[in-house]
Amino acid sequence: MPAPASGPRSVDRALDILDAVADADRPVTAKALARRLGCSLSTVYHLLGPLTGRGHLTRTGEGYVPGPRAVALHRSFQRQLGAGPGAAELLRRVRETAGLPAYLTVYRDGRITMIDSTTPATAQDDPFAPGPEARAHATAHGKMLLAQLPRAVRHRYLDFHGMARLTERTITGAERFEAELVRVRGDGVAVSIGEADPAYACLAVPLTPPGEGGPGRVAHALSVSLPAEDFPRRHGEVRAVLTREAARPVSGGRRP
């Protein structure tokens, strides 16, 4: 029988297990994990031991599910990227006032990440979910954050991530996209109508003063989404809610 994986390979497989359990819709058995990883069942059990012992996974009667440590990691992730109590209050106010899902997105160190949302984690129909944003060029929050970056930094970001055509309305040309960002900076509001998902529109405003800091800066954007068919009727109202709430102080003086 082959020896259990060790060293860097063992770390990779442990992370593969975490990803497999996190991505699953229901508990995952050890046998299913072994099949997915293409390794022996003994190797999987060897890795599941410390993962469950440290609280990253929990064993149930049906299989393995994310453990309580995942909650702590998520909270730490949010806190370090600026989603503290003030951010939660801000998102709640926008959600209650506009009646629409609200989101907080951050740019940091060459990455754009949605770090919080008012949409329940169990929701299946929200086109925007917390995590790395791979469609920044096609979303309002992505446009707002990219518009605030120095041109050279923005170009490096777009060269690395690309500008995939997601719908017939997605902007994929560099010159047209730069013109769009000029409009965003002048207007103070970014808009995407069917560019990331043909059924949805989104609007975003900045929570970080434009031009503050250099390439290593951290910038936040506040956004909402709504059905694209409702945009013509509601865009003025939604814009007013975003700009007003983004300018309001939060309790305790803490905000992103």
Distances (CA, A) of 246 to 87, 141, 218: 10, 14, 17
CA distance 246 to 248: 6
Helix (H, G, I), strand (E, B) or coil at 127: coil
Q: What H or E segment, with its residue span, contains residue 58?
A: strand 57-59
Q: What is the structure's pLDDT at 132?
A: 86
Distances (CA, A) of 92 to 85, 95, 161, 206, 223: 11, 5, 31, 17, 12
**Closest C-alpha to 26, from 2, 54, 50, 61:** 61
Residue 64's identity, in one-letter code, is: Y
Number of Cβ within a 10 Å radius of residue 205? 23
Q: What is the structure's pLDDT at 70?
A: 80
pTM over cut 0.95: no
Structure tokens at 153: 């930094």
Q: What is the structure's pLDDT at 128?
A: 85
Contacts 24+ apart (CB under 8 A), 53-60: 56/18, 57/17, 57/18, 57/21, 60/27
Q: What proportions of the chain, in percent to the nearest 5, are helix, strand and coil? A: 50, 15, 35
Structure tokens at 191: 């808009």
Number of Cβ within a 10 Å radius of residue 152? 9
pLDDT per residue of the chain (256 residues) written in tens, 0 to 9? 344 444 567 888 899 999 899 888 889 999 999 999 898 999 999 999 999 999 999 999 999 998 888 877 767 766 666 656 678 889 999 999 999 999 999 998 889 999 888 987 666 677 788 888 989 999 999 999 999 999 999 999 999 999 999 999 999 999 999 999 999 999 999 999 999 999 999 999 998 655 444 445 678 999 999 999 999 999 999 999 999 999 886 544 445 5
- Residues 85-112 as b/e (b if ≥16 CB within 10 A, e otherwise) read ebbebbbebbbebbebbbbbbbbbeeeb
Q: What is the structure's pLDDT at 10?
A: 84
Q: What is the structure's pLDDT at 95?
A: 95
Residue 93's identity, in one-letter code, is: R
Q: Whose structure tokens read 């600026």? A: 82
Number of Cβ within a 10 Å radius of residue 15? 12
Segments of 71-176 assigned E as strands: 102-108, 111-117, 131-132
